[in-house]
Amino acid sequence: MRLKKDSSEQKLRGAYYTPLQLADAMVELFASQNISTVLEPSCGDGVFLDALQNLNLLNKVDKLTAVEIEPDEADKVRDRYSEFEQIEVCTEDFFDFYNRVLGKEQYDLILGNPPYIRYQYLKESQREMQSQILTSHGMKANKLINAWVAFIVACVQLLSEKGKIAFVIPAEILQVAYAEDLRLYLANNLAKITLITFEQLVFPDIEQEVVVFIGEKGEEEKGIRIIEMNNLSGFAQLDLSQNGFQKLQHVKEKWTKYFVNAEEMSLIQELRADKRFAQFSEYGIINVGITTGNNGYFSITEETSEQYQLSEVT
């Protein structure tokens, strides 16, 4: 078992900074849209502000709020962008910020890379705030839930009427049991959901598979779509105005089923209804068995092993 005292400061903070190439690509998706207010809830070294500056968008924004819990990082970002009067850098825990501005502030665009912090690495006060955020929106709170889940829930609450959220989050959102309440929450609160997946690792140093999650509020529900890319170069051909949405079921099921198109889904349903086939559940029960910490046996990294064991516990 990995004890908290033996974990790196980076892991305890969940601080895995976004590559500038990815931040630039995400910001460019919204460059042509009318964005007045922006929130970066975990700005770290300010890479998303850098991306906005690279695309000459900072001067087009009326107000940009960046939140960062680490004073040194916040000071660096504050100093770097001191000439922009519309930028406010808040040195505080995002959960505290959320409780302070909820009902008072709304944002047209919320983007960033929320911290990936396990429950056991959170302070007691953070655990209480995370639990309150989740349970107040009809979700269960337990010791398997990572901090990024509460970040998404809180940020959706801070969106304006037609606001958009763009986050880099673990690919676990697609299928793990501890995110099933989150999937239902997002289905109930967003009109459009786009998930961009990558065949190649975006964060190769930590062996963490991620997706770019884009959620949009609106009056007309469009559903969900999954866009598969080989690597970050795929953003050059991406047009968010294109359709391709599938009807999103408002249930806690895994989102992996949306990787198939409507025609393929129809075939799967046809096969399921065919009496010539039997379901495996008629003959056995699938459950997680014994897991091992002998990472060398599987030729995988310690990080991947820990993520697997955490995500598969039900």
Q: How far apart are CA 112 and CA 214, in angstroms?
A: 11
Does residue 220 lie within any of the structural domains? yes
pTM, 2 dp? 0.80
> Is the distance from CB of 104 to CB of 152 less than 8 angstroms?
no
- The predicted pLDDT at position 311 comes to 41
Give a yes or no: residue 127 inside a domain.
yes
User: Residue 285 falls within a domain, yes or no?
Assistant: no
What is the band of 16 on the pLDDT scale with cuts at 50, 70, 90?
low
**Any domain includes 276:** no
Instruction: Work out how many domains the chain is built from and give that number.
Output: 1
Q: Give a yes or no: residue 273 inside a domain.
A: no
Q: Which domain holds residue 37?
A: 4-261
pLDDT digits (tens, 9 = 90+) for 124-149: 999 999 999 999 999 999 888 999 99
pLDDT at 76 > cutoff 90: yes
Q: Of 172-186, 201-215, 250-264, which has the strongest mean pLDDT?
A: 172-186
pLDDT > 60? residue 82: yes
pLDDT(306) > 70? no
Task: Examine the pLDDT at 12 and tell me if it is beyond 50.
Answer: no
Q: If you average pLDDT over residues 15-42, what whole number do you get?
A: 90
Q: At residue 294, does pLDDT exceed 90?
A: no
150 within domain boundaries: yes
In a domain, 304, yes or no: no
* pLDDT for 288: 61
Which of 148, 94, 153, 90 lies closest to 121 in space, CA to CA?
148
- pLDDT per residue as tens digits for the range 230-263: 999 999 888 888 888 988 988 888 998 888 877 7
CATH assignment at residue 76: 3.40.50.150
Residue range 182-206: average pLDDT? 90
DSSP sequence for the chain: ---GGGS-HHHHHT--PPPHHHHHHHHHTTTTS---EEEETT-TTTHHHHHHHHTT-GGG-SEEEEE-S-HHHHHHHHHHTTT-TTEEEE-S-HHHHHHHHTTT--EEEEEE------GGGS-HHHHHHHHHHHHTTT----TT--HHHHHHHHHHHTEEEEEEEEEEEEGGGGT-GGGHHHHHHHHHH-SEEEEEEESS-SBTTTTB-EEEEEEE--SS--EEEEEEESSGGGGGG--TTS---BPPPSSS--GGGGGS-HHHHHHHHHHHH-TTS--GGGT-----------HHHHT--HHHHHHHHHHH--
**pLDDT band at 272; cut points 50, 70, 90:** confident
Is position 125 within any domain?
A: yes
Looking at the predicted structure, is the pLDDT value of residue 4 above 50? no
